């Protein structure tokens, strides 16, 4: 989220003002944004979150939306691994279907980490542990989660 703050400061240093109006960024004068227009488009949701005071790192803003997406689109199981790219694309489609802008991939990864999902790369593909798209497992019978796994307390500093 540091980049969102830097972009806001860059507009101010260029003599501009930035605010949120009806879910859109309003910058005056427009010339203050021209050198960084592409970055502003890319980071728009995080900039809006910062300007609205949701949380400096933007994750609080996305927490409820992420939880809704997981409930609607995903299955959690300790023996499942979803592809990060596919999960992120699904989240983006979910958000656009609700006429909202999706977060950046970095913020999405942060939401996964907050939810205790580990990521790892295998042959160039980033996989996310414990979560998979519902559409990928519809019709499959997943083994029930063993009770002993459910009883293990989660510690954020534990080594896996």
Cα 133–62–154 angle (5° rounding)? Answer: 70
Residue 71: predicted pLDDT: 92
Is residue 115 assigned to a domain? yes
Among 17, 42, 57, the domain boundary falls at 57
Question: Is residue 40 within 8 Å of 7, Cβ to Cβ?
Answer: yes
Report the range of poorest mean pLDDT among 52-66, 70-84, 87-101: 52-66
pTM of the model: 0.58
Domain identity same for 51 and 77? no
Q: Say whether 106 sits in a helix, a strand or coil.
A: helix
127 forms beta bridges with: 83, 120
Chain mean pLDDT for the chain: 82
Q: In this structure, are 98 and 36 located in the same domain?
A: no
Structure confidence at residue 123 as a pLDDT band (50, 70, 90): very high
pLDDT category at 81 given cuts 50, 70, 90 is very high
51 and 64 co-located in one domain: no
Q: Band of the pLDDT at 55, cuts 50, 70, 90? A: very low
Q: Are residues 53 and 71 in the same domain?
A: no
Whether residue 107 is predicted with pLDDT greater than 90 in this model: the reply is no
| pLDDT at residue 137 in the model | 85
Please say if the pLDDT value at position 136 is more than 60: yes
Give the number of domains in the chain: 2
| Parent domain of 145 | 60-150
**Percentage of the chain exceeding pLDDT 90:** 27
pLDDT band at 99 (very low <50, low <70, confident <90, very high): confident
Question: SS3 of 20, please?
Answer: strand
- Categorize the per-residue pLDDT at 72 as very low, low, confident or very high, splitting at 50, 70 and 90: very high
């Amino acid at each position: 989220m540091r980049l969102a703050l830097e972009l806001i400061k860059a507009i101010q240093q260029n003599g501009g003002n930035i605010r949120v109006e009806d879910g859109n960024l309003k910058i005056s004068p427009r010339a203050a944004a021209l050198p960084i227009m592409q970055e502003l488009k890319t980071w728009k949701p995080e900039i809006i979150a910062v300007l609205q005071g949701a949380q400096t790192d933007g994750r609080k803003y996305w927490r409820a939306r992420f939880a809704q997406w997981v409930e609607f689109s995903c299955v959690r199981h300790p023996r499942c691994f979803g592809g990060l790219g596919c999960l992120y694309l699904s989240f983006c489609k979910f958000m656009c279907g609700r006429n909202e802008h999706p977060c950046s991939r970095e913020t999405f990864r942060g939401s996964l980490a907050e939810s205790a999902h580990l990521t790892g790369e295998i042959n160039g593909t980033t996989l996310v542990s414990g979560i998979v798209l519902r559409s990928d497992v519809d019709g499959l019978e997943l083994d029930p989660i063993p009770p002993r796994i459910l009883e293990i307390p989660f510690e954020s500093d534990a080594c896996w």
